[in-house]
Amino acid sequence: MDRLKQRELLHLLEEDSRMSAEQIGKMIGEPTEVVEQTIAALEAEKVIVKYPALVNWERVDDHPYVNAMIDVKVTPKRDVGFDEVAERICRFPEVKAVYLMSGASYDLSIILEGKTMKEVATFVSQKLSTLDSVVSTATHFILKRYKHDGVELEDRDEDHRMVVTP
Amino acid sequence: MSTQVKVKNRLSSTVQSLKPSGIRRFFDLAASMEGVISLGVGEPDFVTPWRMREASISSLERGHTAYTSNAGMLPLRVEIQKYLEERFSVSYHPETEILVTVGASEAIDIALRAILDPGDEVLVVEPCYVSYEPVIRLAGGVPVFLKTTMENQFKLTPQELETHITERTKAIIFCYPNNPTGGTMTAEEWKTLLPIIEKHDLMVISDEIYAELTYGRMHDSIAALPGMKDRTILISGFSKAFAMTGWRLGYVCASPDLLAGMLKIHQYTMLCAPTMAQMAALEALRHGRSDMERMIESYRQRRNYVVDGFRHIGLTCHEPDGAFYAFPSVASTGLSSAEFAEKLLMEEKVAVVPGDVFGESGKGHIRCSYATSMEQLKKALERMERLMGRLS
Ligand SMILES: Cc1ncc(COP(=O)(O)O)c(C=O)c1O
């Protein structure tokens, strides 16, 4: 499959990962088998990493859920720089994302997911701050998610058009 | 004797003789039902991209709420000129050859009013947008219909053109890429018509509102062909490609003498197009290209999907190269297009538009707009398949 079509396929899957190979094939004008082979190859190459569902937990009743972003200042180590401590932080299951940042007064940005505020607090005070190279942390709780992964969570665009028009 | 005007005569005979739109009748029927999946909508399903909405809001905040010049803001006309030149290789002077209008609709109206004398004949390529015939009549003209067929991918042929020309023929009007068929014309195909157009000294009104919505190749404007710019009135706008139907913004391009004529009508009837919409359009042309491309890609994918779907359920369908309509034939069911559309609506709650609403040559077809979500398209096809199962 040519590169342009491959990119189109990726866009389609990114938008709706449950779309069938047959449907994608029809939409981009390729046989189903070719789509299947391409998807398999993209998975093997780790271009496609995962097929997650984007859940708006705020809509799920009684689901305790907090999100925090933590700015972390660390002392880089000779030879391994920031990588060693970053990799260590990545291993904690409550950590959803770790980024090395430029232009900020801190080095690593961490996105954390916990069931309660207390759980997050415990993680920061007992696990994160106690790491050797961590100099300081600043925790910001996310109060409300308006847009996530390119999707606006509230106020979905409805079709306001008339049923039949010229 | 009462001095009152007789009720019957209060409307002009021309207005009285106009038929109400066939689309309207179907709209009323569909609107009265619930849970209808609509393939009857002739406008984008995208909301105008945020950047255009934002530009308009910001212009309001800055207080741009006054009239603009009659022909439209000059910076907008300059952008239109650059855009047409870059995309379609047609070049118009922004100050004397471009006029910003209230939708392509107004452009069609003033083009016809500017050139027609009572009784002048206008050739209309069918199936066609529902407004052409009434607007020609309102301008005092007489529409003469040229047929196109599915077998010929709804292209206009030289034979069909030549046979309908009389001494009264003044102009020809068409829309390619076409509403309702999705048919397009290539430069080579246009060239076969030029000798006839020139021989009979016809004016050409080319409605290119769907020009950006072509799949697989660039749109060829008839105005770009040798010798054609001078006799062509090019009409386009922002409704379709930029998903801006409600903004009511279009434009018309023509040589200075024609444009001056149209400007007269425009300035006495509209004065100028809405300022906020002009601001949004300026943004669309300057920075909206990627938004547009994203929408076009999506239309193309859906086109592929529905055309394949129609064929799969047993409806003959030519592959539309442009616009966002498919125009399958329902002749194999033995039903007329109106019967089929009505059955589909009443029994399966899918709205489509009967093809004969767009003229005689639309008979036996239905217009299905695929400017709707994949989810809706999928469901619509399933429902249509059920109906086809019962009909066979
Ligand atoms: C062929 C054609 N021309 C013109 C128009 C009207 O466009 P506008 O919204 O710019 O008035 C339409 C709308 O459906 C159309 O299909």
- Contacts A164 to B, Cβ<8 Å: 23, 26-27, 30-31, 38, 40-41, 351, 353
Q: What gap in Å lies between CA A8 and CA A145, rounded to an integer?
A: 28
Residue of A nearest to B40 (CA): A164
Q: In terms of domains, do A69 and A115 share one?
A: yes
Residue A118 shares a structural domain with residue A75: yes
| pLDDT above 70 (res A155) | no
Domain containing residue B220: 50-287
Query: What CATH number is given to the structural domain containing A92?
Result: 3.30.70.920
Strand positions, DSSP E, chain B = 37-38, 98-101, 121-125, 142-146, 169-175, 203-207, 232-237, 250-253, 325-326, 350-351, 353-354, 366-369
Final residue in a domain of this structure, among B242, B267, B287: B287
Go through B87-103 and write b for each residue having 16 or more CB atoms within 10 A of its CB, e for each that does not: ebebebebebbbbbbbb
Domain check: are A39 and A71 in the same one?
no
Structural domain contains residue B266: yes
pLDDT digits (tens, 9 = 90+) for B166-223: 999 999 999 999 999 999 999 999 999 999 999 999 999 999 999 999 998 999 999 9
Q: Does residue B321 contact residue B183 with C-beta atoms inside 8 Å?
A: yes
Smallest CA-to-CA distance from B49 within B273, B299, B295 is with: B295
Q: How many CA atoms lie within 13 A of B82 on its CB side?
A: 10
B/e letters for A107-117, b = 16+ CB within 10 Å, e = fewer, are: bbebebbbeee
The reply to whether A25 and A67 lie within a common domain is no
Summarize pLDDT for A47-85 with one digit per residue, the tens.
999 999 988 887 887 777 889 999 999 999 888 889 999
Domain boundary among B238, B261, B287: B287
The alpha carbon torsion through B262, B268, B269, B273 (nearest 10 deg) reads: 70
CATH of the domain at B31: 3.90.1150.10
Q: Into how many domains does chain A fold?
A: 2
Q: Is residue B6 part of a domain?
A: no
Whether residues B140 and B179 fall in one domain:
yes
Per-residue pLDDT band for B6 (boundaries 50, 70, 90) equals low
A20-29, A47-56, B48-57, B381-390: least confident range: A47-56
Please name the helix (run of DSSP H) or strand (run of DSSP E) that holds residue A139, with its range, or none. Answer: strand A134-141
The pLDDT value given to residue B1: 53
How many residues are given for chain A?
Answer: 166
Residue B268 has a CB neighbour count (10 Å cut-off) of: 9
The verdict on a CB contact (< 8 Å) between B301 and A8 is yes
Phi, psi (rounded to 5 degrees) for A105: -85, 5
Tell me, what CATH number does B137's domain have? 3.40.640.10
pTM: 0.89
Number of domains in chain B: 2
Amino acid making up residue B220 = D
B74-101 confidence digits (pLDDT tens):
999 999 999 999 999 999 999 999 999 9
- Residue A8's domain spans which residues? 3-45
**Residue A5, pLDDT score:** 95
Same domain, A68 and A137: yes
Cis? peptide before B180, omega within 30° of 0? yes
Residue B291 Cβ inside 6 Å of ligand 1? The answer reads no
Ligand 1 atom nearest the C-alpha of B178 is 1
Output DSSP code: residue A164: B
**Whether the complex's predicted ipTM surpasses the cut of 0.90:** no
The answer, yes or no, to whether residue B20 has pLDDT greater than 90, is no
Q: Would you say residue B241 lies in a domain? A: yes
Phi, psi of A113 (to 5 degrees): -125, 130
What pLDDT is stored for residue B4 in this prediction? 63
Mean pLDDT of all residues in B283-291: 96
Beta bridge partners of B367: B353
Task: Let me know whether A63 and A134 are in one domain.
Answer: yes
- Which of B287, B311, B345 is the C-terminal boundary of a domain? B287
Do both B256 and B276 map to the same domain? yes
What residue owns the CA closest to ligand 1's atom 2?
B129
CB B83 within 8 A of CB B234: no
- Which of B21, B23, B37, B41 to substitute to test the interface with A, most A CBs within 10 Å? B41
Q: What percent of chain B has pLDDT over 70?
A: 98
Percent of chain B at pLDDT > 90 equals 93
**Sign of the Cα pseudo-torsion (B212, B218, B219, B225, in order):** positive
How far, in Å, CA of A21 to CA of A27, rounded? 10
Question: Is residue A151 assigned to a domain?
Answer: no
Average pLDDT over every residue of B357-362: 95
